[in-house]
Amino acid sequence: MESIRELLLILLAVILLVQNLSNVEARYHHHKKQKNKGSTVPPPASPETPVSSSPSYSPSVPSDPYPNDPVNSTDCIFDVRDYGAVGDGSADDTAAFRAAWKAACAVEAGVVLAPSDYVFKITSTIFSGPCKPGLVFQLDGVLMPPDGPDTWPKADSRKQWLVFYKLDDMTFTGKGTIEGNGQPWWDLPCKPHRGPNGSTSSGPCDSPALIRFFMSSNLVVSGLTIQNSPQFHMKFDGCEGVMIDKLSISSPKLSPNTDGIHIENTKSVGIYNSMISNGDDCISIGTGCSDVDIADVTCGPSHGISIGSLGAHYSQACVSNITVRNAIIRESDNGLRIKTWQGGTGCVSDLSFENIQMENVRNCINIDQYYCLSKECLNQTSAVFVTGITYRNIKGTYDVRTPPIHFACSDTVPCTKITMAEVELLPYEGQLLDDPFCWNAYGTQETLTIPPIDCLQEGEPQSEQEVSAYGC
């Protein structure tokens, strides 16, 4: 009799255990079904919150048994092929890119994906915001515009191709290539182009900048290869908070007006770990820029790193707090250049060039306050004030066709507070040409300079003005 009672108790325990496991399993499958519909488990009610009629779950059952379940991981990726992109290099994929952008823009951390092994062609497009934060444009394939002015749609702007407008917290990245198809534009027979036989004619000669960011903030551009732009490769205008990293930018040495990276009216910029070779300025910094840090960049062939040109058409220009460090400039027409027009106003202040290696560069160190694109520029009494410029550890070789150091400052507004330290520039080949040139330039030599720069006047001019006097 005792053994029968024990057997019944064991049987009853097994039945209860099976029922409990069945209830747990049912609740789990109900939760997974609701999760796949997009629902979430309601949080436990707080003491102040009335208990709802929604089902509650035992704490012993996890709200999500597989928290890393990738069921919905692709929900924020918008592949342009899903919107009709062909990617064969000839079809017009503009509509597909615009539709994918619109969809990604509407969700947080959306990704526009242009996958590898495809060549996408789109016409001039403005990708505008505002968008939800964390938007990513991921280019892993090839993206290109129509091939030259003859195939450019007449209704499209000839001044720009890809425009990113009014965006915040956006990233443009990938392992892909932006191919500008610039050759037909470079061959246009109008200035600044040289024409197929070197001839030029007057008249308008618009060519599109390849990529433009306008009135945007907190931007990241990284990893891309950008090549053969009809005009500037990349422009930032009216932006704040820009990080550029690991770009490769290239076009032929004689391609006209193909600046690598151009910024204007833009603040808080970092340009790092990039290689740029082109037919104009490697990096150009226009008016309204401040707090710019450039490091570990290789330029050349190019026209070097330029501040300006500034003050054209009697305008005011303000540039401050620019740092260029750990850079290489090779086979270039200019190295580190500040160029301003006569008649301008404003100020260039607090620039630091440090640890720069020159390799066969003309005009390695150059301040030119008489910048002019023709022989018709007249002398003016006003000028952009240049002050607080430091050149430290600038070494390498220069092209002997021009002196390696050239300070041509305004007659009426001297350059002041120029600091030279550990500047050693030797001829790439041949003999030393001319001594450095200085005009109305004041500063300090912390160490002896090679070649010697005896023309730099010590101290400060008697008529020196404060930066604030120039409206910056």
Counting other chains too, the contacts that 449-452 makes at CB distance below 8 Å and 24 or more residues apart are 449/405, 449/420, 449/423, 449/424, 450/423, 450/424, 450/425, 450/426, 451/404, 451/405, 451/425
* 295 vs 274: CA distance, rounded Å: 9
| Phi and psi based region of residue 282 (left: phi greater than 0; alpha: psi -120 to 50; beta: remaining) | alpha
- Choosing from 31, 303, 350, 368, the catalytic residue is 303
303 is catalytic: yes
* 89 vs 146: CA distance, rounded Å: 10
Token output for 307: 């501040």
454 is catalytic: no
**What is the rounded radius of gyration, in angstroms, for the C-alpha atoms of the chain?**
31
- Dihedral sign for Cα atoms in the order 199, 200, 201, 205: positive
- Choosing from 140, 280, 281, 350, the catalytic residue is 280
Provide the residue type at 179 as one letter.
E
* 206 vs 150: CA distance, rounded Å: 13
* 365 vs 350: CA distance, rounded Å: 16
- Looking at the annotation, which residues are catalytic? 280, 303
